[in-house]
Amino acid sequence: MNRAWGLGVGAWGFAVGDSGTAGGGPLPNAAGPSPQPLAPNPFLSVRNVEKSFPEGNGRQFVLRRISLDVAKGDFVTIMGPSGAGKSTLLAVLGMLDGDWTGEYRLLEHVVHKLKHKDRIALGKQYVGFVFQQYHLIDDLTVAENLAMPLSYRDVKADDREAAVADTLDRFGMVAKKNLYPRQLSGGQQQLVAVARAVIHRPALLLADEPTGNLHSSQGKDIMELFRELNAAGTTIVQVTHSEENAKVGKRVIQLRDGWIVD
């Protein structure tokens, strides 16, 4: 029964090589002037990022002096115990959160100086995000949820429909396309969340425990998808507790109590 959800390896033809835009949103090679060349051509560069919440008379720090360079085509794994700040860091990188101090540059964009609206727009342009809690839109069907990132990008209706049909097919979800998230299992919702994050071929894929609710063969297929996307040029930052998943990436960053350790 679940075979429709079995993601055969090799089902991901869309990930590589069938267009000139693989792995690239717009401007993937923007060689623009880097305001501070902190590392050789980092795709993104974070300096001294801190985030805290008010607590009692003081503040509880969730991210402490985070500095990180990620090159184009890198594949970074963030690991660490629950509460370490992994999801918080991913939200900063994905430009979903603007309430922090420090510096963040993405290509030629100075994220820490952007207005809220421009930061969100930049995120929509560059980022595909797999949320830990999926965040599918309850009153949209699977197909409509998949179309969302395309609608942000002014993709023509015909092309949008074709991309949605293609993705439904490749994820084995054609039979589910008119269902609503509540009609899916947790694992199925997670697959939709992954599909939605990659359908627009973002230059930067951020994934928060993207296989946490999948059975192991589906989890392997998702990691194979990430491997192919990365080989085609997509920059990836994933959060995982899985050593197996971490091995698919190129390097691991450990977070503890908001600090990068090692």
Q: Which residues bind Mg ion (CB under 5 A)?
A: 86-87
Q: Contacting ligand ADP (CB under 6 A), which of 62, 76, 203, 232?
A: 62
Q: Which does 45 bind (CB under 5 to 8 A by kind): ligand ADP, Mg ion, none?
A: none
Q: Contacting ligand ADP (CB under 6 A), which of 23, 24, 28, 85?
A: 85
Q: Contacting ligand ADP (CB under 6 A), which of 48, 83, 116, 186?
A: 83
Which of 157, 158, 190 lies closest to 173, judged by CA?
190
Residue 247: phi and psi, rounded to 5, are -65, -25
Distance set, CA 183 to CA 123, 176, 188 (Å)? 29, 9, 9
Q: Contacting ligand ADP (CB under 6 A), which of 31, 57, 82, 138?
A: 82
Provide long-range contacts, Cβ within 8 A and 24+ apart, for 218-226: 218/5, 218/6, 218/7, 218/187, 218/191, 219/245, 220/9, 221/6, 221/7, 221/8, 221/9, 221/11, 222/7, 222/191, 222/194, 223/248, 224/9, 224/12, 225/7, 225/12, 225/15, 225/194, 225/198, 226/75
Q: Contacting ligand ADP (CB under 6 A), which of 42, 44, 45, 87?
A: 87
Q: Contacting ligand ADP (CB under 6 A), which of 13, 53, 116, 251?
A: 53
Could you tell me the smallest distance in angstroms from the CB atom of residue 189 to ligand ADP?
19
- Indicate the residue among 33 and 56 with the shorter CB distance to ligand ADP: 56
Half-sphere exposure of 212 (CA within 13 A, CB side): 16
Could you tell me the smallest distance in angstroms from the CB atom of residue 73 to ligand ADP?
25
Provide long-range contacts, Cβ within 8 A and 24+ apart, for 171-176: 171/7, 171/11, 171/195, 172/3, 172/4, 172/5, 172/6, 172/7, 172/11, 173/4, 173/5, 173/142, 174/4, 175/4, 176/4, 176/142
Which of the ranges 19-27, 82-90, 138-146, 242-250 carries the binding residues for ligand ADP, by CB under 6 A?
82-90
Does 4 interact with ligand ADP (rule: CB under 6 A)? Answer: no
Which of the ranges 85-93, 94-102, 143-151, 215-223 carries the binding residues for ligand ADP, by CB under 6 A?
85-93
Could you tell me the smallest distance in angstroms from the CB atom of residue 88 to Mg ion?
8
- Indicate the residue among 80 and 202 with the shorter CB distance to ligand ADP: 80
Could you tell me the smallest distance in angstroms from the CB atom of residue 241 to ligand ADP?
10
Strand, helix or coil for residue 80: coil
Residue closest to Mg ion (Cβ): 87
* Number of residues this chain uses to bind ligand ADP (CB under 6 A): 10
Question: How far is it, in rounded angstroms, from Cα 225 to Cα 90?
Answer: 20
Which of the ranges 39-47, 75-83, 164-172, 222-230 carries the binding residues for ligand ADP, by CB under 6 A?
75-83
Binding site for ligand ADP (CB under 6 A): 53, 62, 80, 82-88
